[in-house]
Structure formats: C-alpha cells, structure tokens
Structure 1
C-alpha cells in the first residue's frame, strides 16, 4: 500500500511539474479553408528546453486541466474539447487534434486556457493561454477577405494581441506587431519570442528572435522566411500570491502562418 501511494504521488508530482514547466500552443493545418470544409486544430505541449523557446513536443497535456473554445466572427463561442482526440495510444505521448467543419465564412479564433496551482519544489499558480486564427472563405481562388477583429483582446488574464492582420498583412519582409496584455492592460519589459518552426533561438536572449515589450506592451518583428511562427511571452508575477501558492507564472502563445507573398486583400 505504501509503495502504491508513493508511486501515485510521484506520478502526480511529475504531471504537475510537466504542466508548470512547459508551454501550450494551438496550431491549424492551414490559415484559410473553403466554407463547409474542415480545419484541423492541434493542441500541443512543448518542451521547456532552451529557456522555454524550444517547441518540440514534450507529451500530451491532461485535457481535464484546460479549456478550449472556438470563437466565430459573429461572437459565438463553442467548446471544442469534446471533439479532440489523441494522436498516440500511450497516455502521455503525441498531442490532441480535432477536425472542425465550419459552415459560415469569416475569421475564427481558437483559444485555450489553463489556470492551475502546481507544485514543482514550491507551490506555483500556472496560467497558460494560447490562440490561433483561421479564415473561412467561400472561394479560395478569390483573393479577398472580409474585415475581421484580430485586434480585439480575448479577455484572457495574459495574452498576445495581434495588431497586424494575420491574413492580409502577415508576409515575409513586413513587420508583425503584437501587444502583450496582463489582465487587459499593456505590460512592458516582457520578452516576446518569434520562433520559426524548426529553429531554436540562441542563448538566453537572441536579438534575432527575442524582443522586449515597450511601455505600451508593443513588440515588432519582421520575418525573413516563410514558415509557421510560434510567438510566446512569459511573465512572472511575484506579487500575485496567496496562502496556496508563492507566485504566479504566466505564459501565452500565438501561432501564425507567414507566406512569401500576400495571398489575400481586405474588403473595405
């Protein structure tokens, strides 16, 4: 009995440590789909190596710990956890994925949240949020997209807000502007990393990929190659503590597809 209890404690501790140390992100297989077709959305748990900037897979998050929803262009919200399936038979391997059919055109945002007190040598409140966008269009061969609202905050406790259109203005050689918000307010001096898939920033701070937010919480990055980019920000709030935890650890991610050429134009 003692051995069983000890083993259960170690497993729980390892699981909590994993959630505390790693970041979560969402990604889609494509940035634009035709109305009535299916988009594949993945929820992934990243390795904590390279100062939280190595987004190789680290295992599968416990789905009970997170919320995941789809927000439509009309403001509608739908829970998508019930359509997520694992990609591996082993309990902690692979990642979660889902096939979502969308019947109305417009811009959609997928949002994930985790807020959990964990113990990794000390009790810490871990808050992890993630966002990814995709566009639904009636015809993919018509390079035109309706106006959308990517600049509107999602109301998360810690989040990255795009100030560059993820479809019409996100392109190689053009600046991408992102704002960091903490409880809805801009926060300065937060390191934001822009990581091309397959690339690892060097050292603790790589000026090619890492930037600090200004007084308005703004950061600007100009991609030099077409790729899928993972944007990540971290913030430790030492003053956010209670009797249950010693401080709060925040992380937020945002995934973008960056093409070589602008494939779409906005309808004004």
Structure 2
C-alpha cells in the first residue's frame, strides 16, 4: 500500500462516520512553563473518540495537509507548526505529530490547530475542529511573570473554547477553571463541556463530576480535584448549517491544560 495512503487512513476514518462521532483534535506541550531559550515539544493529536468523545486517547495521525497549525509567540508572531513535524511512533498509523520549538521570547505562547473539511459517508458533512494549548517562557522559573493574558482573547475560530482562567497563575487543584464556548464569536448556552483528566474514565452519558453545561453567557466552570493534564472539549452539531455541498456541520473545540497540585505562580 502507498505510504501516504497509510497515514491518511485514520484521517479518512475521521469522516467516514456519522456527524456526531468524528474524532477530535488537540494540541499539547510537554511542559506548561520553561526558561526562555529552552525547547518545548508541541504535539498535534487526533483521537478522543471513545466513551462519547471523552476518553482523551490517541486514534492515529491526521494528515498534515488537512490541518492548519500555528505557534503564536508573545510578540504576535505566527509560525506554521507543520513545518518540521515528525512522528513519535514507528507505525505510520499510530502516535501523533511532534515538533521541538525554542521559546526565544519571555511570555505566553499559544499553539493552535484547525480543520475544516467536507467528506461524504452516505451523506456529506462538514467537519470543523479547533484546538489550543498554552505554555509560558520566563527568564527565571523562580520569579516567573505573566506579562499578558492572551488566553482571554478569542482567536476568531468558527467554534472555539476561550479560557477565562489564567493557566499559570490561577489554575491548580481546588481552584475553579472557567471557559466560554463561542460559535461564530457569539456565546452558546446549554453546551456540554467536558474536563477530562488524562487516564480517567468518565461515567456513561453525562458525568456531573467532570462535565457542566454552559450558561446564558456561554460559560462553564470546573474545579479539578487532582493534578493532571486535562482535555477540555465541547461539541455542537448544526443541522441548519448546510449548503449544496454538505447537509450539516459538526463542530468540536478543545483546550489542553496542565493542572498542578499547587501553582508556584498562584499568589502572584
């Protein structure tokens, strides 16, 4: 079989399913905080398909030709993350894409990934997937500062989660994490937001320990009880968003967070 076709197969499978069952995308870093000038590994991941999109597990690699991915630096510079990506698995259908980047400037970095593609699996569906994660570079880890709160600003994605809690000074076990769900820039109410600790199995259907519904302002809140890496995810299917090319639109948005037991920056 053609090598390019092999690693495309998981991506094709992503859209060869009913609209509500496609895989999610997320991006993650190996560390939430590093010294300026150090290397951070950024991963582009595909999965979170099991247990009603709440398993936070990999499910093969997406084709880099199908996505757009950027690293937004503290000065606003944007770099295409797909350049220089390599696989972290020997089998071409496993693992995820990863790339080392140097945090040259102090401040907050945002890694993003988006997908917008129409596929046909009996009927045509437009799949829109967005993902974000953040990490901080500081000249001193002992006296780290967060010079700006870029995480609070939407990026203009068609469907996105906006982090309203600082991932560095406010995120820790026992402290509430607040996110907002936006659809075309407007808050969405009554959307289920899942806060999935890596390695945790959520209860069937709705799990009140790890999930909540957005209020009239599109806000959802979660209080983590354990330190871990968390996948925050929201889904929405728009049956009224259709054209001659597709019959509905399936949306998903993720944010990946490192939640420490106690944040060294929480009191600053």
What aligned pairs does 1:41-52 form with structure 2 within 5 A after superposition? Answer: 41-52=42-53
| CA 1:97–1:15: 2 relative to 1, 3 Å | closer
Q: Deviations over 1:40-62 (max 9, x none)?
A: 01111114110011121111111
Q: Which segments of 5 or more consecutive residues in structure 2 lack a partner in the other structure? A: none
How big is the shift at 1:15?
4.1
Match of 1:185 in 2: 186
Match of 2:140 in 1: 139
How big is the shift at 1:265?
4.9
What aligned pairs does 1:21-40 form with structure 2 within 5 A after superposition? Answer: 21-40=22-41
Q: Which segments of 5 or more consecutive residues in structure 1 lack a partner in the other structure? A: none
Runs of 4+ in 1 over 3 A off after TM superposition: 11-15
Query: Matched residues in 1 for 2:8 and 2:32: separation?
Result: 37
Alignment counterpart, residue 13 of structure 2, candidates 17, 25, 45:
17
Q: Deviations over 1:206-231 (max 9, x none)?
A: 11111111111000000011111100
Query: CA RMSD of the aligned region, Å?
Result: 2.1
Length, aligned pairs only:
261
| CA 1:97–1:90: 2 relative to 1, 3 Å | same
Match of 1:95 in 2: 96
Q: Deviations over 1:83-121 (max 9, x none)?
A: 211112332211100100121100010010000001233
3-state DSSP of counterpart to 1:59: coil
| CA 1:14–1:24: 2 relative to 1, 3 Å | closer
What aligned pairs does 1:107-256 form with structure 2 within 5 A after superposition? Answer: 107-256=108-257
How big is the shift at 1:260?
1.1
Query: Matched residues in 2 for 1:262 and 1:97: separation?
Result: 26
Q: What TM-score results when the alignment is normalised by the length of structure 2? A: 0.92
Which 10-residue stretch deviates more, 23-32 or 139-148?
A: 139-148
Tell whether the 8 Å contact from 1:17 to 1:120 is kept in structure 2 after alignment. Answer: no
Tell whether the 8 Å contact from 1:105 to 1:135 is kept in structure 2 after alignment. Answer: yes
How big is the shift at 1:23?
0.5
Match of 1:257 in 2: 258
Q: What TM-score results when the alignment is normalised by the length of structure 1? A: 0.92
Query: Matched residues in 2 for 1:80 and 1:12: separation?
Result: 19
Tell whether the 8 Å contact from 2:129 to 2:252 is kept in structure 1 after alignment. Answer: yes
Tell whether the 8 Å contact from 1:147 to 1:266 is kept in structure 2 after alignment. Answer: no
Query: Matched residues in 2 for 1:135 and 1:200: separation?
Result: 29
Tell whether the 8 Å contact from 1:144 to 1:266 is kept in structure 2 after alignment. Answer: no
**Structure with max Cα Rg:** 1
Q: Deviations over 1:9-32 (max 9, x none)?
A: 9x9887433246111111111100
Query: Matched residues in 1 for 2:62 and 2:219: separation?
Result: 30
